[in-house]
Amino acid sequence: MPLGEIIQRAMSPISTGLMDRENMLIKRLTRIVPSIREGHGQLAVPLGTGDDAAVLRPSGKTDWVLSCDSFLEGVHFIDGVHPPESVGYKSLARAVSDLAAMGAQPRYFLLALALPSAKTRGWLDQFARGMARAARELQVRLVGGDISKTQRVTIGITVLGEIARGNALTRAGGRAGDLLYVSGKLGAAQLGLEIVLRGLSRRRSLKKYLHPHLYPRIPLELGESLAHHKIPSAMMDISDGLSTDLARLCAASGAGARLRAAQIPTVRVPALLERKGVTPLELALHGGDDYGLLFTVPRKSLSRLRRIPSAIPVTCIGKMTREQKIVLVRADGRASPLVSKGWNPFSR
Amino acid sequence: MPLGEIIQRAMSPISTGLMDRENMLIKRLTRIVPSIREGHGQLAVPLGTGDDAAVLRPSGKTDWVLSCDSFLEGVHFIDGVHPPESVGYKSLARAVSDLAAMGAQPRYFLLALALPSAKTRGWLDQFARGMARAARELQVRLVGGDISKTQRVTIGITVLGEIARGNALTRAGGRAGDLLYVSGKLGAAQLGLEIVLRGLSRRRSLKKYLHPHLYPRIPLELGESLAHHKIPSAMMDISDGLSTDLARLCAASGAGARLRAAQIPTVRVPALLERKGVTPLELALHGGDDYGLLFTVPRKSLSRLRRIPSAIPVTCIGKMTREQKIVLVRADGRASPLVSKGWNPFSR
């Protein structure tokens, strides 16, 4: 049932009392999450939550970028382990990451939420607070959605962003000789996940390592800036791990890549996990959920890259090659093919 | 993982073999469902499935209408009871219904699909064929999506349509004195559901009653035509049942309604179900899933309503009133308040 319908019912003298509890929970949700409701008068959105659909008024001067993403209990998060704030935050952040990857500016989102009755009180409140924080940080507003009842929480997010016509960055433009860059450090989110999966998340000394896994930071301004200055020839976000996502970029670009292991920005692994065989390089190569940007830069654009201001560092990790394979050069000079070992739902 | 990524991987010499099976199933899906892939050259969509997000190029001359909908195993369909073709067809059709309800012309859709490995073969094929048929009939094309693995099938559909600026029909315009109309017959889908829930769906004599439940027909052209000629003052689709949806329209319009039971277009109930207490009027008042249109018409627009050609009949079932309550007048003249008893996920 559309969120807005329930809000309207709640405010209506005809309300039959049937849905009082649902009215309450949805009113709570839309009070917490930045939303656009009917009749708010903003020109770009003649109609937000509160009808069968949202009505948007494009200027005709920009392209619109549209993506959807699922976030599912038992697949993307574990009930009782991942805090509801993180579920709300991360489900929206990772959807917005697909817009950052195109260089677009996020504008609106739709939320299709299904949850069990037991989660309609405190859990929903905390979920909404996490989502609200992501919405404020990423500057998106809720314009519509749908709510159902299920046994396991199911979250569907659709995001809509804007970009100057023709400026969207695809994965298909990388050419042999272009330099390969990543933003931030790689493997931080996977390190957090390893701690969670090993049941170590309550260890005081390890708490600080959980944050990138629970609340990933989306390099939105960097993506917009790179697209605005037309610096990369190709760009995408690293959601499933460098080894998997680089293979996609190479496939789309019809090129290969040569990575230098020593140049890849890795994270420090606490001794306890290092002893269990967790290494910074493996985390960086195959760990997902970082949502850093992976992009290729033609040599002629390097000086422009150096001039753009960014709060997040970017690092050259190798270059694109003509030969359509991905090679990893280790610190000792040994070169070997890099096999995709990132996140793949159906391989497990 | 975005569908397009997997397609690209499948076509890539860098493919590692890790995802061969997934490549195959997604290639099958996008081969069956009408899709827009990267580089197809259509101006409105510079980029379809095959990157982080779809890129759309609005003309700036129309409004865009956006809605999302979930379709969940165990909630909206029952595994082993509902054929996969119906799941594919209906999940898309009911999402598109929200666009019909605004009078918009559907254009694109995104599919977020999660399913267990066991359903990635024959089930997915049949699902895709049902969805393809709906996509052709409703003239929408797949521009993006996402696939995950879960225990129970989870379908998220986002639909995007177009309408002349300012022509979108909301629920908020109904005024006292306007006549109240519905399209088609009410209760046909609920009758099919009653047969399914009673385990009678294999009865030869009852088969023909299942169709409206499994493959609802969306009155798309009627919705577009009504909006184009600016005939209704308010409009919505009946997805959760007349008693529930009319309460929403009245709430949004700040008005009430007086229904005449004898005028409501009902379906014939087979004797076997009639004996079990299933009545045509109860089906019509509270049965959901018909996706007919509910709209209010000012008296001055009645002559225009009569002139528009429609393959689907429209019927006046009462009128809007100043007093903010809904009253049902029975055939014998008795009047009583109508209580919302339609679909409500959290009341069960």
> Residue A266: which CATH number?
3.90.650.10
Q: B315 and B213: one domain?
A: yes
Q: Half-sphere exposure (CA, 13 Å, Cβ side) for B92?
A: 30
- Per-residue pLDDT at A58: 84
User: Looking at residue A345, what is its pLDDT?
Assistant: 60
Q: Could A63 and B57 be called an inter-chain contact, meaning their C-beta atoms sit closer than 8 Å?
A: yes
Asked if the model's pLDDT at residue A2 lies above 50, the reply is: no
Within a domain: A254: yes
Same domain, yes or no, for B126 and B64?
yes
Cβ-Cβ contacts under 8 Å, A120 against chain B: 346
- Same domain? For B158 and B270 the reply is no
- For B243, the domain range is 179-343
The identity of residue B273, as a single letter, is L
pLDDT of A143 strictly over 80: yes
Residue A47 pLDDT grade (very low, low, confident, very high; cuts 50, 70, 90): low
Cβ of B165 within 8 Å of Cβ of A57? The answer is yes
Region for B108 from its dihedrals, namely left if φ exceeds 0, alpha if ψ lies in -120 to 50, beta otherwise: beta
**Looking at CA atoms only, how far is residue B189 from chain A in angstroms?**
18
Q: Considering A164, A190, A225, which residue would you say is the last residue of a domain?
A: A164
Quickly state the pLDDT bin for A310 (edges 50, 70, 90). confident
Q: How large is the average pLDDT for residues B250-266?
A: 96
**Angstrom distances, CA of residue B268 to CA of B187, B192, B238, B280:** 9, 12, 19, 7
Distance from CA of B50 to the nearest CA of A (A): 8
Q: Is A299 exposed, middle or buried (0-12, 13-18, 19+ CB in 10 A)?
A: exposed
* B111 & B214 share domain: no
Q: How far is A211 from chain B (nearest CA, A)?
A: 23
| pLDDT for A132 beyond 80 | yes
A220 domain residue, yes or no? yes
CB-nearest to A110 from B68, B237, B247 is: B68
| Contacts B325 to A, Cβ<8 Å | 13-14
Nearest chain A alpha carbon to B67: A53
Q: What residues in B contact A15, CB-CB < 8 Å?
A: 247, 251
Please tell me the predicted confidence (pLDDT) of residue A101: 95
Task: Categorize the per-residue pLDDT at A19 as very low, low, confident or very high, splitting at 50, 70 and 90.
Answer: very low
Tokens 């939420």 identify what position? A113
pLDDT at B43: 38
Give the pLDDT of residue A46. 54
Question: Nearest CB to B64: which of A19, A56, A161?
Answer: A56
Q: Are strands A105-115 and A141-149 parallel, antiparallel or unpaired?
A: parallel
Could you tell me the two tokens for B251?
């709430």
pLDDT at A18: 34
Chain-chain contact of B166 with A46 (C-beta, under 8 angstroms): yes
pLDDT band, very low/low/confident/very high, at A311 (cuts 50, 70, 90): confident
Neighbouring residues of A197: CB distance < 8 A, sequence distance ≥ 6? none
Alpha-carbon span B42 to B69, nearest angstrom: 27
Answer whether residue A170 is part of any domain: no
With 80 as the cut, is the pLDDT of residue B345 above it? Answer: no
Contact B56 A66 (CB under 8 A): yes
Q: Which residue of A has its CA nearest to B326?
A: A14
Which member of A144, A168, A346 has the closest CB to residue B55?
A168
Which of A8, A64, A163 lies at the smallest CB-CB distance from B58? A64
Whether B171 and A52 lie within 8 Å, measured CB to CB: yes
| pLDDT single digits (tens) A296-305 | 999 999 999 9
Contact B74/A151, CB-based, under 8 Å?
yes
**Interchain CB distance below 8 Å, B19 and A344:** yes
Residues A204 and A157 in one domain: no
Confidence check: pLDDT of B136 > 60: yes
* Predicted TM-score of the model (pTM): 0.89
Confidence band, pLDDT 50/70/90 cuts, at residue A81: very high
A222 and A337: one domain?
yes
Residues of chain B contacting residue A111, judged by C-beta atoms under 8 Å apart: 68
Q: Which residues pair with residue B327 across a beta bridge? A: B258, B337
Q: pLDDT, tens digit, for every residue of B294-333?
A: 999 999 999 999 999 888 999 999 999 999 899 999 999 9
Which residues in chain A belong to E strands, given as ranges?
54-56, 62-72, 105-115, 141-149, 154-164, 179-183, 234-238, 256-260, 292-297, 314-321, 326-329, 335-337
Q: What is the mean pLDDT of chain B?
A: 87
CATH of the domain at B85: 3.30.1330.10
Q: Determine the residue of chain B that is closest to A114 in CA distance.
A: B70
pLDDT digits (tens, 9 = 90+) for B103-128: 999 999 999 999 998 998 889 999 99
pLDDT tens, residue by residue, B220-239: 999 999 999 999 999 999 99
Domain boundary among A134, A164, A194: A164
| Whether residue B64 is found in the same domain as residue B194 | no
d(CA B254, CA A189): 50
Would you say residue A169 lies in a domain?
A: no
Of the candidates A343, A326, A196, A176, the one whose C-alpha atom is nearest the C-alpha of residue A257 is A326
Same domain, B152 and B279: no
What is the phi/psi pair of residue B43, to 5°? Answer: -60, -40
- Asked if pLDDT for residue A23 goes beyond 80, the answer is no
Smallest CA–CA distance from B149 into chain A, residue:
A345
Count structural domains, chain B. Answer: 2
Domain annotation covers residue A171: no
Give the closest-approach CA distance of B24 to chain A in angstroms: 12
Q: How confident is the model at residue B10 (pLDDT cuts 50, 70, 90)?
A: very low
Query: Per-residue pLDDT for A250 more than 50?
Result: yes
In a domain, A174, yes or no: no
Same domain, B129 and B197: no
Kindly state whether residue B240 falls inside one of the protein's structural domains: yes
What is the value of ipTM here, to two decimals?
0.86
CA-to-CA distance for B239 and B286, rounded, in angstroms?
Answer: 10
- d(CA A36, CA A102) in angstroms, rounded, equals 24
Q: Are residues A152 and A191 in the same domain?
A: no
Most confident of A49-58, B34-43, B243-252: B243-252
Closest CB from B16, B250, B326 relative to A247 = B16
A67–chain B nearest CA distance, Å: 5
CA-nearest residue to A25 within chain B is: B346
Q: Which residue has the tokens 């001359």?
A: B61
- Asked whether residue B183 is assigned to any structural domain, the reply reads yes
Residues of A with CB below 8 A from B53's CB?
A: 65-67, 98-99, 101-102, 104, 159, 161
Residue of A28, A71, A346, A348 to mutate for B, most B C-beta atoms under 10 A = A346
Residues B155 and B183 in one domain: no
pLDDT band with cut points at 50, 70 and 90 for residue B9: very low
Give burial (CB, 10 Å; 0-12/13-18/19+) of B189: buried
Beta bridge partners of A326: A257
Asked if pLDDT for residue A253 goes beyond 70, the answer is yes
Judge: A110–B67 Cβ closer than 8 Å, yes or no.
yes
DSSP string, A181-245: EEES-BSHHHHHHHHHHTT-TT-GGGGGGTHHHHSPPP-HHHHHHHHHTT--SEEEEESS-HHHH
Q: Which of B70, B144, B256 sits opposite A67 (nearest CB)?
A: B144
User: Quick check: A294 pLDDT over 60?
Assistant: yes
- CB-based burial of residue A81 (10 Å sphere; 0-12 exposed, 13-18 middle, 19+ buried)? exposed
Mean pLDDT lowest for which of A53-57, A129-133, A283-287?
A53-57
B30 band by pLDDT with thresholds 50, 70 and 90: confident
User: How many CA within 13 A on the CB side of residue A7?
Assistant: 21
CA distance A118 to A282: 39
Nearest to B144 among A64, A68, A154 (CB): A68
Q: Which of A153, A262, A316, A230 is nearest to B114 (CA)?
A: A153
pLDDT, residue B180, reads 98
Residues 6+ apart with CB under 8 A from B308: B225, B226, B229, B231
User: How far is Cα A186 from Cα B304, in angstroms, rounded to an integer?
Assistant: 64
- Residue B29: the pLDDT is 74
What does the buried/exposed string (b/e) look like for A141-170 if buried means 16 or more CB atoms within 10 Å of the residue's CB?
bbbbbbbbbbebbbbbbbbbbbbeeebbbb
Same domain, yes or no: B209 and B259: yes
Mean pLDDT of A5-12: 39
Q: What is the mean pLDDT of chain A?
A: 87
Q: What is the mean pLDDT of residues B1-27?
A: 43
- B181-200 pLDDT tens trace: 999 999 999 999 999 999 99
